[in-house]
Amino acid sequence: MKICVCRFIIQLIVLFVFSLSLVNAQDFSILEEQFAKSPVLPKHHFGFSLYDLDSNKFVFGKQEDQHFVPASNTKVFTLFTSLKIIGDSIPGIQYIERGDSLIFWGTGDPTFLHPKLDTRKVYDFLRFSDRKLFYVPQYTSEPAYREGWSMEDYAYDYQPEVSTFPIYGNLARFKSSGKGVVASPKYFDRMIGISEKPSKYFTVKRAFHSNQFDLTNLNVPSGYRVSKPFIWSDSLLVSLLQDTLHREVYTLTNYAKPEVVKTLYSAPRNTVLREMMLPSDNFLAEHLTMIASDIRFKGFYTDSLRSEVQKEYYSRFLDSIELRDGSGLSTYNRVSPRSMIEVLLGIRDLIPDESQRYLFFPAGGVDGTLRNAYALDQGVPFVWAKTGTIHSVHCQSGYIVTRTGRHYAFSFLNNNFMTATSSVRKEMVRIMTFIRQNY
């Protein structure tokens, strides 16, 4: 009898401890207190959503159904679309062989002669072909700049033009050499001039309507380096191809692409996706949408691509969204924290192995745009998230693992703040670290 009573008491204790831990795990009132006492968040429009990946449910939210400009959190949607549509390798060029001619088309591949990503596969194929090279320009209604981009940012390296056949990342690179400046590719040396306008600092400025690059009439600082977008055109592409391939490249206009063409693949898809996500590369994001639209529609129709993905996947979201580009430079984009969670869940379904999934997101305290944002906890990273920053916008969306081993998806969106971005970032880090340590 005593044994039965003891067993019963032990069972009650175990049940009580289990129930207590369950209550504590689900008690988000202390998280509510962290938001309530924030000196930063009440001064601007913010939203937050937390989703328990272990129990598959939303567990906490603050204005999680409201809409925000996501900035580069848009790239999470581009990641999802790319994983769904693009195969394991990036299509480099499409081509056919006719007699002594090699006729080729662009695919939107951003890796061709890209300083970080070029595999030389397309270059070597064209360089060493024993056939005459014919490049076919493609009609496209795709603008060089997406809706909602800042036109005054045309001269900054984070906003290169969108094109059907990118080359060198659509950037001209300049560096000091002796007492002057040299360009890479060297083709742009002929477009360097001297500006007589007074300036306090040495700069390289590109004209808005041309590829004229003017240097201020000052001494070039030692070690000076800068990258500037150039105005892409089919004629410039052919000139650059001839310059780098060291052979003639002809232009073949009004030549319809056959239904059956060959495809030469260039870089591994996941390598390009990781380079898009960790340093937050806008150029790669836009051209991944170009590639996906070309795969889906056999042409460059990114608006149609966004409409199709919206209909097939995003229409089931709890909140509506609106996307006008693939990079997040557009201020017309609108998402909610809950919709960010839902696309993160879609990525989880596509990549169930979290160790592989986390490779596409900056790890707090380790790499990418979160390298210096978070401190490691118990010697390891605990947040893997995409950041997003433009004027008065700063966001994080991704995954977090707590000390107890629970897994969450989260989205923290901030708009319309007048304080420094660093103060908003620190407040997000404070709250995410609190979640790490208390749940």
For the chain, what is the radius of gyration of the CA atoms? 26
Q: Are 69 and 340 in contact (CB under 8 A)?
A: no
Task: Specify whether the CB–CB gap between 242 and 249 falls below 8 A.
Answer: yes
Q: String of b and e for 167-192 (b: at least 16 CB within 10 Å)?
A: bbbbbbbbebeeeebebbbebbeebb
**What gap in Å lies between CA 112 and CA 266, rounded to an integer?**
8
Please report, in tens digits, the pLDDT of each residue of the chain (439 residues total): 444 444 544 454 444 434 444 444 568 999 999 999 999 999 999 999 999 999 999 999 999 999 999 999 999 999 999 999 999 999 999 999 999 999 999 999 999 999 999 999 999 999 999 999 999 999 898 999 999 999 999 999 999 999 999 999 999 999 999 878 999 999 999 999 999 888 899 999 999 999 999 999 999 999 999 999 999 999 999 999 999 999 999 999 999 999 999 999 999 999 999 999 999 999 999 999 999 999 999 999 999 999 999 999 999 999 999 999 999 999 999 999 999 999 999 999 999 999 999 999 999 999 999 999 999 999 999 999 999 999 999 999 999 999 999 999 999 999 999 999 999 999 999 999 999 999 9
Domain boundaries 30-84+278-438, CATH class: alpha beta
Query: pTM here?
Result: 0.93
Q: What is the pLDDT of residue 424?
A: 98
- Token pair belonging to 52: 């328990």
Per domain, the residue ranges of the chain are 30-84+278-438, 171-231
For residue 138, which of 100, 94, 169 has the smallest C-alpha distance?
94
Q: Is 328 left (phi over 0), alpha (psi -120 to 50) or beta?
A: left
In 94-119, which positions are buried (b, 16+ CB within 10 angstroms) versus exposed (e)?
bbbeeeeebbbbbbbbbbbbbeebbb
Which residue in the block uniquely carries the two structure tokens 């898009």?
276
Strand partners, 172: 228
Asked if residue 81 lies in contact with residue 307, where contact means CB atoms within 8 angstroms, the answer is no
Residue 7 has what pLDDT?
A: 53
Cα separation, 69 vs 57, whole angstroms: 25
Q: In the prediction, which pLDDT does 25 show?
A: 53
